[in-house]
Amino acid sequence: MRSIESASLSALMIFILAVALAMIGIQTGIEPLIHLSRWVAAVSALLHVWVALSGTRLAVSARRHLIARWGRTRSVRLAPLRRVLRNVTAGLIAAWAVAVLFVLMVPFMRLPVHIPDAGLIYALSIIASSIHAIFGTALYRQLAYRLQETRRLPAAGHIRL
């Protein structure tokens, strides 16, 4: 859980570094800085993909645990966990969209050379990553909490009516 949070924040910070390197390289005309910014952006993209993949694995594991332990039981006590799983699923769609966005950003680190107003694209990417870092990690934290909470509940075969 902590590794997802730290990777998400690291991916954001690394991309900000990549944008700064690209802007300095473009303003000063130092081509190696622009080339370096692509590599730094690639590291950020890999971290975003890792975060999305780890979140997917966490959600799938939680769903498997829910089904293995309680099956299709519609207990009121399981409703918060099911709700969080639905929210995490929506968050994962956003996580994969952000990951794809950052993978696509790698070849466009030179974009401001050709289009001066391309900094807006970088700004929107940073905002998307920031939103995901805040809300995505909050969802994963909530999922972990709900899983811990349901561990005390008896399995489906032991529920008495």
The C-alpha atoms of residue 158 and residue 161 are separated, in whole angstroms, by 10
Average pLDDT, integer, range 57-66: 88
Cβ contact 86:148 at 8 Å = no
Q: 139 and 87 in contact (C-beta within 8 Å)?
A: yes
CA separation (Å) from 71 to 64, 75, 76?
Answer: 9, 11, 14
Please state the pTM of the whole predicted model. Answer: 0.83
pLDDT at 76 over 60: yes
Helix, strand, coil % over all residues of the chain, rounded to 5: 90, 0, 10
Q: How far apart are CA 152 and CA 64, in angstroms?
A: 17
> Residue 13 corresponds to which tokens in the numbers above?
């910070």
Give the per-residue pLDDT at 5.
87
**Mean of the per-residue pLDDT values for the chain?**
84
What pLDDT digit, counting tens, does each position of 116-157 carry?
Answer: 677 778 888 889 999 988 998 889 889 888 888 777 766 655
Give, to the nearest 10 degrees, the angle between helix 79-105 and helix 31-70.
160
What CA dihedral angle connects 31, 37, 38 and 39, to 10 degrees? 110
Residues recorded for the chain:
161
pLDDT for residue 159 is more than 60: no
Give the pLDDT mean for 24-49.
91
